[in-house]
């Protein structure tokens, strides 16, 4: 259930629904070639090196402190970019609470809501993990589990009573068009929906008989995630044609139509409020997470003393202030793009490309450590010896590399403005956000390290 909570997010349902029947191909690709390899590789690394630090510790053991720092930095900064996308999704849901669905396509409204919700969530985290975790629990139950169940339920009713099924009116091919990379750009966005399994791997030592039970947990979690992603996306696709679906408000568009068909339109504002709560709950939960991992590297001397500060509640407030500044700047992308959906996907693509760089380091680390540290005790090992490890990590590495490459192409399905601006934004983002930890490592000072 920890794995399900980390990975499952309703914001991905419109992204898959817009693909029609080929969404099943994307789901299969992401689960078999990405989700399973990441999960198994992370389990081996977590049981071999269970000390704090997560990906920082694992990559550091394989390639040294510099690349360990780069790995945790990427995990932190991609998460920082992700906040803008998930809160744009929340603002789209809240537009239905305000009884004005057109607000979901208003860039100024979206930016104002992103910043208001983000900074409120940050100040909640300033109070410590106890308040944040309690708030998150209620928000995720009300805002993710409940709406996911309802969208699937109403989607089945739509089909059962014989309403027109929009997904059958468009492309019904299982395979996407491979005529150009712009046709499969959504593959990168789908990969992001399945990211995060490495976070839960740190709990593998707390499981009875992890060698047997951890793979079971992974496959059970994958089944739950796939069922909700597939049926939830299908429920949107049966009542909306691809050209109608908004990436930020698609789930609420579907609820609006499904509820109106049953004379239950009065419930739309309530469900919009719940969907927004789920997105906000995810943000509250994640704000303090990766930044805590960055704090570990700060204490190891990788960041200046300013970023090592914690308040009376033990919260890394200075890191969170810097994080908030980045979120604020990136949210302005919604004012530069021709529409909200285009800006949403542009930030999603940058998030994916950065995150996939970290996963490449993760796969490379597990391969290297099998040879450089063969005697290190691992409570769980990828079965099949070194061949099995090469197969799992190799497949994951190649799939991540392919998705990373695809992420640089603007999608043919969306209006994203100038293709040159799109590519330059991704390239500059990668150079800046990956170059930053390398520069910090180069100019770090011995006195930065705490005893």
CA distance 30 to 280: 25
* CA distance linking residue 225 with residue 217, whole number of Å: 12
Fold exhibited by the domain 2-448: Amino acid/polyamine transporter I (1.20.1740)
- What pLDDT, on the 0 to 100 scale, is given for residue 1? 65
The pLDDT value given to residue 48: 85
pLDDT of residue 362: 93
Q: Are 77 and 354 in contact (CB under 8 A)?
A: yes
**pLDDT value of position 357:** 92
Residue carrying the six token digits 């040159």: 420
Of 182, 90, 100, the closest CA to residue 144 belongs to 90
- Strand ranges (E), 201-290: none
Per-domain residue ranges for the chain? 2-448
pLDDT at residue 256, rounded to an integer: 87
DSSP 175: S
pLDDT at 321: 92
Q: How many Cα atoms occupy the beta-carbon half-sphere of 30 within 13 Å?
A: 31
- The span from the CA of 61 to the CA of 70, in Å, is 13
Q: Cα–Cα distance between 102 and 80 in angstroms, integer?
A: 27
pLDDT of residue 204: 64
Q: Which residue has the tokens 């817009």?
A: 18
Question: Looking at residue 418, what is its pLDDT?
Answer: 78
- Tokens 């993710």 correspond to what residue? 144
In the prediction, which pLDDT does 182 show?
52
CB-based contact 315:300 (threshold 8 Å) = no
List the structure tokens of 353. 């490309």
pLDDT of residue 19: 77
Per-residue pLDDT of the chain (451 residues; tens, 9 = 90+): 666 766 777 777 887 888 777 788 888 888 888 888 888 888 888 888 876 667 888 999 999 988 998 998 898 888 888 888 888 878 887 887 776 778 877 888 888 988 998 898 888 878 776 666 677 667 777 777 888 889 899 999 998 988 888 877 766 666 666 655 555 666 666 777 777 777 666 566 667 777 777 777 777 777 888 888 889 888 988 888 877 888 777 888 888 888 888 888 888 888 888 888 887 877 777 776 677 777 878 877 888 888 888 888 878 888 889 989 988 988 888 887 777 777 777 888 888 889 889 999 999 999 999 999 988 988 888 888 899 999 999 999 998 888 888 888 877 666 666 788 888 988 999 999 999 999 988 888 887 776 5
pLDDT at 63: 93
pLDDT at position 435 is: 92
Contact 111, 337 (CB under 8 A): no
pLDDT in tens, 92-138: 878 877 767 788 778 888 889 889 988 988 888 787 766 666 776 67
């Amino acid at each position: 259930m920890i794995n399900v909570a980390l990975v499952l997010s309703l914001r991905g349902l419109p992204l898959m629904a817009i693909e029609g029947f080929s969404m099943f191909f994307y789901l299969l690709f992401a689960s078999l070639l990405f989700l399973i390899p990441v999960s198994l590789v992370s389990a081996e690394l977590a049981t071999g090196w269970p000390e704090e630090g997560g990906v920082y510790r694992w990559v550091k053991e394989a390639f040294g402190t510099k690349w360990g720092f780069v790995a945790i930095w990427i995990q932190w900064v991609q998460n920082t970019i992700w906040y803008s996308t998930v809160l744009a999704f929340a603002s789209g849901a809240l537009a239905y609470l305000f009884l004005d669905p057109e607000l979901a396509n208003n860039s100024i409204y979206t930016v104002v809501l992103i910043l208001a919700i983000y900074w409120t969530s940050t100040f909640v985290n300033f109070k410590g993990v106890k308040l944040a975790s309690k708030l998150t629990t209620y928000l995720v139950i009300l805002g993710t589990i409940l709406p996911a169940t309802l969208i699937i339920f109403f989607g089945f009713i739509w089909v059962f009573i014989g309403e027109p099924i929009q997904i059958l009116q468009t492309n019904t091919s299982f395979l996407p068009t491979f005529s150009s990379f712009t046709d499969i750009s959504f593959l990168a966005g789908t990969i992001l929906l399945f990211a995060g399994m490495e976070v839960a791997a740190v709990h593998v030592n707390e499981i009875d008989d992890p060698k047997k039970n951890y793979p079971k947990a992974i496959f059970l979690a994958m089944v739950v995630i796939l069922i909700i992603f597939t049926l939830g996306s299908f429920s949107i696709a049966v009542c909306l044609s691809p050209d109608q679906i908004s990436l930020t408000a698609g789930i609420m568009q579907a609820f609006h139509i499904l509820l109106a068909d049953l004379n239950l339109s009065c419930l739309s504002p309530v469900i919009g409020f719940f969907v927004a709560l789920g997105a906000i709950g995810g943000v509250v939960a994640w704000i303090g997470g990766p930044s805590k991992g960055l704090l570990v590297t700060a204490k190891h001397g990788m960041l200046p003393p300013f970023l090592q500060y914690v308040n009376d509640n033990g919260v890394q407030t200075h890191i969170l202030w810097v994080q908030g500044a980045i979120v604020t700047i990136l949210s302005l992308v919604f004012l530069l793009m021709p529409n909200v959906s285009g800006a949403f996907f542009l930030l999603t693509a940058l998030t994916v490309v950065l995150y996939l760089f970290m996963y490449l380091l993760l796969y490379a680390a597990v391969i290297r450590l099998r040879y450089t540290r063969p005697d290190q005790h691992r409570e769980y090992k990828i079965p099949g010896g070194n061949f099995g490890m090469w197969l799992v990590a190799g497949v994951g590495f190649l799939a991540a590399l392919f998705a990373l490459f695809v992420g640089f192409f603007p999608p043919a399905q969306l209006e994203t403005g100038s293709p040159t601006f799109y590519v330059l934004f991704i390239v500059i983002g990668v150079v800046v956000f990956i170059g930053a930890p390398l520069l910090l490592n180069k100019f770090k000072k011995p006195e930065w390290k705490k005893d």
